[in-house]
Amino acid sequence: MMRRTLAPLAAASMLIWAAAQAQVPPLPSIEGPIAGPGSMYPGLRPLTPGSEPADFGYVTEEYFVSGSANGQPYKTRILVRRPEPAERFSGIVVAEVLHSNGFAVTFEPARKSVLLRGHVQVDIAAQQSNVNTIIRPFNPERYASLSIPSGTQTSHIVAQVGLLLKSNLSHGPLHPLAARRLILQGTSQSSGVLRTYQSQQHFQARMPDGSPIVDGYLAVSTLGGAPMMMVDVPTVQMPTQTEVNSGAAAGNTYRRPDSDEPENRFRLYETAGMPHANGRDTAQPDCALPVTDFPWGAMVAMGLNHLVQWVDHGVVPPRAPYVEVDNDLANDGSRLALDANGNAKGGVRNPYVDVPVAVYGVPNSGSGAAAFLCSIAGWRIAYGEETLSELYRNKGGYISRLNQSLMDRVREGWMLPEYAEDVRAEALGTAIPTPSGRN
């Protein structure tokens, strides 16, 4: 009882202190849309034909944003992806600071849901490396004026861009759209940027009416053992099997209880089968085991949708158990507890592990330059024919169980309807042998 009582009191004290310290950040200048010269640095890596934002009726525009952050001038760029016609806009802006690799690694694999639901997506090049070592060298003529001189400016730039997006100015980058809520998301390295923003600017930088600039946070594949900061807006954290495994020996110290308290709205979603890195839509390193094609983006989209509904409509999301840990390295080389089929127990369930045709594990391994990429990629080992026939008898048995699992997960909120047909299509393409003598 004491622990449950002290946490809200501590959070309330933080809010009172923060209210006294908060300031409205300076509004940055905006230029654009930028038309040239030369090619724009790509906002996304090459995508499957038919899955580009333009295929969903979206327009992508580039703007330059400038101002002073943490005592030094800066100039950077943002990309705005908006639906047309304007009536399709949901009122939700999903912003993401570019990963150190120069891409929006959360939006890319989860884009189908974002685009179908009419959200605006904004990429913010807020890190020094984004501009100075990636964007500007890509096209020195187009981006010659861009510069972020200090790595300490990132959180301040995010706050200023957030203020710009939510101010709904007639000359702003969203006009004529009007933003109602702003979500900040990040994965792996960029989730660290998100967490730094929470500690440096969430309470310190506010809208003119005192409300938060960022209305909700989605942090995926988060690194380290520290729990996420308690803030006064909803937060969804999605550690993957990689983080569960790597943190198990120390007791998975990043875990903190779910909460519905107004000053501490929090969900922790550990998804069974999901690795640190998305391996479905990107080039794969040469690893010791086949790199997993687990539907990383579909699960991230699920977490984002729960966050949006919580932020915008007050719909309290479901809770999920943690992925189970047994610290037994003798099973598959991980510290995860495994079910009878070799997949992780617990966590957010999905048809890939509940009606499996493969084992999804971590960590993978590789040598040389591929060693790190393999360590975060995860692996997938398909079942042999004998195992498949024992599990499902025939193709009809497999499809029947898959459909039931899929319907259950959609009903429970663990799979979004827009991904259901994708799952079914993959299942229909899976060969399930029928043993001789069986029908």
State the pLDDT at residue 356.
98
Tokens found for residue 72: 């030094």
Domain boundaries, the chain: 28-40+50-214, 276-439
Q: Distance (Å, rounded) from C-alpha 38 to C-alpha 41? A: 10
Closest-CA residue to 344 (of 294, 391, 392, 387): 294
Tens of pLDDT, residues 114-144: 999 999 999 999 999 999 999 999 999 999 9
Q: What is the DSSP string of 258-299?
A: -EEETTEEEEE-PBTT--SS--SSSPPP--SSPBP---HHHH
Position 5 scores a pLDDT of 41
28-40+50-214 CATH = 3.40.50
Strand partners, 83: 58
CA–CA gap between residue 265 and residue 310 (Å, rounded): 9
What does the buried/exposed string (b/e) look like for 397-415 if buried means 16 or more CB atoms within 10 Å of the residue's CB? Answer: ebbebbbebbeebbeebbb
What are the backbone dihedrals phi and psi of residue 29, each rounded to the nearest 5 degrees, phi first? Answer: -80, 155
pLDDT band at 12 (very low <50, low <70, confident <90, very high): low
**Phi/psi of residue 397, nearest 5 degrees:** -65, -40
What percentage of the chain has pLDDT greater than the value 70?
A: 95
| DSSP structure class, residue 111 | H
Neighbours of 382 (CB within 10 A): 13
- pLDDT tens digits along 55-83: 999 999 999 999 999 999 999 999 999 99
Euclidean distance between CA atoms 283 and 178, whole angstroms: 37
Percent of the chain past pLDDT 90, that is, above it, reads 90
